[in-house]
Chains A and B, each alone.
Chain A
Amino acid sequence: MENSRLEQLFLSVQKPGRYSGGEMGSVYKDKSKVDVRFAFCFPDTYEIGMSHLGMKILYGLFNERDDIWCERVFAPWTDFEKVMREENIPLFALESRDPISEFDFIGFTLQYELSYTNVLNMLQLGGIPLKSKDRVGLTPLVVAGGPCACNPEPLADFVDIFFLGEGEEVDLEVIDLYKEYKAKGGTDKLEFLKLAAKIDGVYVPALYDVTYDAEGKVTEYIPKDGAPKTVSKRVMTDLDKAYYPKNLPVPFTEIVHDRAVMEIFRGCIRGCRFCQAGFIYRPVREKSPEVINREAFDLCQSTGYDEMSLSSLSTSDYSQIEPLLSEMIEWTGKEKISLSLPSLRIDNFSPELLNKMKLIRKSGLTFAPEAGTQRLRDVINKNITEKDIMKSCATAFAGGYTAVKLYFMIGLPTETDEDIIGIARLGQKIVDLYYNVDGRPKGKGVNVSISVSTFVPKPFTPFQFCPQISEDEMRRRQQLLRDSITTKKISLSWHESKISSLEGVLARGDRRLGGVILKAFELGAKMDSWDECFDYDIWMKAFDECNLSPDFYKSRERGPFEVNPWDHLDYGVTKDFLLKEYQRAKCGVTTQNCREKCAGCGANKYGKGVCFEKR
């Protein structure tokens, strides 16, 4: 479509800046001078996708190469989707505005299960056959990566290639293979996929046959055509040498997180048993303070951002936090850049650093106890005690804070009513504490906000074997919590439990769910992570029509010998370790973190990181 017409159509919908492109730092190339065009798709809105660090790293990495042009694609909001369908505008990349069907690769990043229908919607809007087997030509190749690729099976029908683990190396290896294959005159998709499957970290679902037993449980994954029996995730072993973008596309319009973000380490030493990120990104690998400071400085210089934050799963666990911050506070102060350090524990900081920290804007006071009693916190291996929380709150109240935010989960394994009531009790204790602290802000009340999410068992965690509680039970527990709170000083919020229920099914689903996702999509499901769009009835209908039961996937205990749909994928942590951790959880026994003592999870096989630190 002619650009001027298209642009007038942007103006007929909300937030036209989502679709126009042209931001500072976005990359424009001459398409006739590149060999490979890559459409990097984030299956959600511009505002969410542009807040995502991983996408920016890969965008920069790909575009550093003269022979590749990587462009960005986001899911249009429903208003513009309607216009696109009415006016026959195929889904286009922001930079060139070319339809995604013209690209060599269409790559999705899978950050959450509820974006799966958006993947299908984006392919359909691009005029691309949804199923891998219906795309007969070599291109466009539909590829996907990101955390959800650790159980890619529900999307196996639609995606040609999954990248497991960190993408920086494997993505380029596949792109190079593609270039080579095309240069030799190759045109056969299956032949190319077979070659790609030989690359470490590449999973080609079409090269595996799956067998099921009478109940529907997977019995075996049978590799074909020389595909490996297990596929291992890729891990960047030296983050100091890994690519980090010097420049980023900087949105003109407001997005969710609009600031320079600096990654300081990958992985997490903690091993909280519910947390998928804590297991699939193992082992912990850190960047050195020098590299972080240099890269962060360069990033601020090139983007013009006046705000920066550090990214990791748990900033306080960075082993050299003192030297890092003490230098960072110096230069950000000089450059008038405000540094945000969310949920940083400062208990052990030196007086000098504490003094410097005064120059930094205080962020809110937040804790994630996740469970209401010490017993349950031991079960989930969440290493935070009531005493820790009380101590930090007392200091904070004396220092002028009047609000605390607490994060909890409901539906954790072994949870009893006592644990639920414990959440309310902890909140009440903090309220009481406030009125007993000398030096609290005069004449001001306290607000404790409690945010509750539903526990969803995820693959590659010790709780991958657990049943997820039913929606009715969920509602009963929510009501119990509501009834247990007797003061207006505590405010309560939660996520829609039906959404969590679906998330649970998709997270541990098998290949047969492809049919359900497709059916739900055909019935109108999309933007499922948005409360205003989510329609549970559609999904239930889709399950019905496919003769599958959500409970089969989420509500039963999975035995130690059951073949999980992700068991042929290797993310470093062994199934034996996960089973052992599950047993310890049931007994309420905690496991020390990686710095205290190696728990033998298996991730030391990558030969780098925390596993080799001196303890």
Chain B
Amino acid sequence: MKNVRLFFKKGGPLRFVSHLDMNRVMTRVLRLSKVPVWYTEGFNPHPYITFALPLSLGFSSDYEVMDFRLDDDNFDMLKAKQMIADACPNGIEVIALKEPKLKAGKIAFATFDITFLSEANATLKTLKEFLSAKEIIVSKTTKKGGVKEIDLAKKLGPFTLGGDENNPKILSLTLPAGGEDNINPKLLIDAYIGITGGKRDFYKINRTSLLTAELNKFE
């Protein structure tokens, strides 16, 4: 038995599939691929799948990381990668299959690209102003169900803005991610849209990468 790590892109119809449902989808993909996957024992055997960091419903991602176990230690990894790629539905694109380097707990940041549709009423000017403010106070529901106020200005890493004034603007930013501190970019963007008076939900979020505390790619 050996632990392996699958890297893939998630988009298309898979954008509407929740983290919980992804487990089911990938279980089927592994089964269809016929790769010798290690299964749990019992009446309901299933592969042992874990995702490095959940992805919110509605987000696409260029860098999803999923761990599972191979039953056959010597199975050719390139071949396995291809078999899995062939079994994936439209919307999942396999990038690599490797042995894991780091534990999932090492994830400290995630990077995102945010594209605004016209309904969002976003302009480069207001975005710049909003993101450069000294304080960006939003309320966030805590795990215990309470609400607390946080200052996103303190959490926000470097950002860049693309596109011109009239075309969809692409905002690239870095936010804390993982078990320690996790900031959903929706918090930030919804706060911004609240100011512009644009229509909520009219922006797309793509998670572009997962990084360690040293800002190295998580692998």
Interface on A for B, CB 8 Å cutoff?
4-5, 7-12, 16-17, 19-24, 250, 252-254, 258, 303-307, 336, 338, 359-361
Contact = CB atoms under 8 A, between A and B. Distances in A.
Contacts of A17: 13, 16-18, 21
Contacts of A250: 28
6 contacts: A7-B15, A16-B16, A17-B21, A252-B16, A252-B24, A253-B16
A260 to B, nearest CB: 11
Interface string B118-130: 0100000000000
B28 A304 contact: yes
B89 interface: yes
Given A253-B18, A338-B43, A12 B200 contact: yes
Contacts, number: 85
B58 A22 contact: no
Interface in B13-27: 13-18, 20-21, 24-25, 27
B27 A306 contact: yes
Contacts of A11: 16, 57-58, 201
Contact of B17 (A5, A19, A252, A361): A252
Interface of B: 12-18, 20-21, 24-25, 27-29, 31-32, 39, 43-46, 57-58, 87, 89-91, 117, 119, 200-204
A22 B21 contact: no
B13 A21 contact: yes
B172 to A, nearest CB: 19
Contacts of B44: 306-307, 338, 361
A4 B117 contact: yes
B43 A304 contact: no
Contact of B21 (A5, A24, A253): A253
Given A5-B119, A250-B28, A306-B27, A20 B46 contact: no
Given A21-B13, A253-B18, A253-B21, A4 B204 contact: yes
Contacts of A258: 24
Contacts of A4: 117, 204
A17 B18 CA distance: 9
A304 B33 CA distance: 9
Nearest to B203: A8
A306 B31 contact: yes
A9 B201 contact: yes
A11 B201 CA distance: 7
A22 B32 contact: no
Contact of A304 (B31, B58, B201): B31
A303 B28 contact: yes
A608 to B, nearest CB: 37
Contact of A252 (B13, B46, B204): B13
A361 B42 CA distance: 9
A252 B57 CA distance: 13
A254 B201 CA distance: 23
A40 to B, nearest CB: 19
A11 B17 CA distance: 11
A25 to B, nearest CB: 9
A252 B201 contact: no
Given A16-B58, A252-B25, A303-B28, A8 B43 contact: no
Contacts of A360: 43
Contacts of A252: 13-14, 16-17, 21, 24-25, 89
Nearest to B200: A12
Nearest to A252: B17
Contacts of A303: 28
B17 to A, nearest CB: 4
B191 to A, nearest CB: 18
Contacts of A305: 28
A208 B123 CA distance: 64
Contacts of A12: 200-201
A267 to B, nearest CB: 32
Of listed A7, A24, A338, residue having the most chain B CB within 10 A? A24
A143 B195 CA distance: 50
A554 to B, nearest CB: 42
Contacts of A336: 39, 45
B204 A8 contact: yes
